[in-house]
Structure 1
Amino acid sequence: MSEASQAPSLPVLEPAQARLLGCLIEKEATTPDVYPLTVNAAQSAANQKTAREPVMALDAGQVQHGLRALEQLGLARQQFSSRAERYEHTLSRHFSLPNQQVALLALLLLRGAQTPHELLARAERLAKFADVEDLKHHLDRMIGREPSLVVLIPRGPGQREDRYMHLLCGPVDVAAVAARAPSASSGASASGMGAAEFEQRIAELEARVAALEEALAARDHTAG
């Protein structure tokens, strides 16, 4: 049997499912003390105002439905604890990906089309890359595999760099995305390392606040 015939087929995720998968990957690296994530923690992560494009407002029912859909697709797994059900991603095992490629997919799932320098700045807390060429090598590996997980978006008018998008939500209209100006909120570049780090720290604080609220609610429930 050939390697191509053994490769898992590409799922077509809904936007909420893509956001939740990105959050599971991100939080495993940035807040391991609250990972795997409860439904409440996943909801807080998905609805963050920072490091997300676009900003979402998912309710608990949508989050639970999305996590269960990811589980059915083989991209997440439910873990049970004494207090709540928790979820962890299984993306690396599902597609046999190294940590660097999982991290890049997480960033693309969370923030849409990005340049290599934006990805390098934002990946600092998720995975290590020697330089931007090393990062591009991993992107090329995901483009060249069967099925492709990533697509290159050639630079459009007034843009200085190519961008990349994931393909986990289905085919991408490359020409339409290339013609679309990057969002102003996608601003971190090679010179924006500080901004990217600031966004990540805010995201971590939001996750920790959500975890504390959860712990307090559980304590109150037990006391009651």
Structure 2
Amino acid sequence: MNALRPLTPIEARVLGTLLEKARTVPDTYPLSLNAVVSGCNQRSSREPVMAVSADEAQAALESLQGLSLAIESHGGRVARWSHNLQRVLAVPEQSAVLLGLLLLRGPQTAGELRLNAERWHRFADISSVEGFLHELAERKGDQGGPLTLQLARAPGEREARWAQLLCGPVTDASGPGASRVAPAEPTGDDSASARIDRLEDELAALRATVTRLCTELGLSPAGRTAETAPATNPDAKEIS
């Protein structure tokens, strides 16, 4: 198997969107061009936030088709697109999920990947995530070469982050003295809005996890009721 050429940022965003929607909205998959554009430009679960035009998305889809990573199908009034990443790269579903998340959200720790994958695939534990990441990082040349890289742990970080290599080598390689280069932060209102979108998405994922765990344990999520509300202090003096 020959290594693929590095993907452009827009190609990576389009491919990541196809990977995501195949698992989160299967009823509307494969995607129309409009759905691809909408998915690429989401303000949540994306790092960085982008503004991809229809022409740019179409060109990226055609380029991915040339790499056999995307497939165009005609069965209705509009063409629809699906990804072909697992077959081209010969990777299991779990690895495809991790690559998709890294394409959409940038470098993440194994713990972040497990949490962010909740709607895509449920990993048993962080160790299983790390196992698939290491498999992707240790691919031989006849398999197309490594697809992930563990970055050096920056000062103050408890875990090292992982990056995908489908877009080519990363500048911050793992090794003694190496440091991770943080992505440029958006400024102004875009920065605040992007942070809010990310927080809302993470909160939704946490709520889904709590609900699932409570269901499995036969419990109801804890909440305040009238009976548990704090009682009025009986020693408080009345104001005449």
- The bucket for the TM-score relative to the shorter chain is 0.7 to 0.9
Offset of residue 193 of structure 1: 5.7
DSSP 3-state at the match of 2:131: helix
For 2:159 and 2:184, locate their aligned partners in 1 and report how far apart those are by CA, in whole Å.
11
Other-structure match for 1:172 = 170
| 1:37 match: secondary structure | coil
Task: Say which SS state the counterpart of residue 180 (structure 2) adopts.
Answer: helix
Structure 1 residue 110 corresponds to structure 2 residue 104: yes
Report the alpha carbon displacement of residue 198 of structure 1 after superposing the two structures with TM: 7.2
> Counterparts of 1:169 and 1:101 in 2: how far apart (Å)?
16
State the distance in 2 between where 1:117 and 1:144 align.
20
Contact 1:156–1:179 (Cα < 8 Å) also in 2: no
Q: CA RMSD in A?
A: 2.4
Q: Residue 155 of structure 2 aligns with which residue?
A: 157
3-state SS of the aligned residue for 1:53? coil
Mapped partners of 1:181, 1:78: distance in 2: 33
Q: 1:8, 1:95 within 8 Å by CA — same for their partners in 2?
A: no
The letter for the 1-side match of 2:164 is: H
1:14 to 1:197, Cα distance in 2 relative to 1, 3 A: farther
**Larger displacement relative to structure 2 (59-68 or 177-186):** 177-186
3-state SS, counterpart of residue 81 of structure 2: strand
User: Using CA pairs below 8 Å that are at least 6 residues apart, which structure has the higher relative contact order?
Assistant: 1
Compute the displacement of 1:130 (Å). Answer: 1.2
Shift of 1:10: 2.6
Whether 1:60 and 2:54 are equivalent positions in the alignment is yes
SS of alignment partner, residue 194 of structure 1: helix
Residue of structure 1 in register with 2:75 after alignment: 81
Matched, 1:45 2:44: no
1:37-88 CA distance string (max 9 Å, x none) = 1100000000000000000001100000000100001111101122100110
**Partners of 2:33 and 2:54 within 8 A in 1:** yes
CA change 1:198–1:62 in 2 (3 A) is farther
Secondary structure of the corresponding residue to residue 3 of structure 2: coil
After the TM superposition, list the runs of 4 or more consecutive aligned residues in structure 1 that deviate by more than 6 angstroms.
181-184
Paired position in structure 1 for 2:122: 128
Residues 107-147 of structure 1, C-alpha deviations (whole Å, 9 max, x = no match): 00001000111100010111121100011000000000120
Q: Distance in 2 between matches of 1:12 and 1:37?
A: 24
Distance 1:177 1:87, change over 3 A: farther
Where does structure 2 lack aligned partners over 5 or more consecutive residues?
Answer: 186-193, 209-240
In the alignment, which of 198, 203, 207 is matched to residue 194 of structure 1? Answer: 203
Return closer, same or farther for 1:150/1:21 CA change in 2, 3 Å cut-off: same
Pair 1:167–1:198, CA change in 2 (3 A)? farther
1:13 alignment counterpart: 7
Query: Using a 3 Å threshold, how does the CA distance of structure 1 residues 59 and 182 change in structure 2: closer, same or farther?
Result: closer
Q: Which residue of 2 aligns with 1:99?
A: 93
- The 8 Å contact of residues 8 and 94 in structure 1, kept in 2 or not, is answered as no
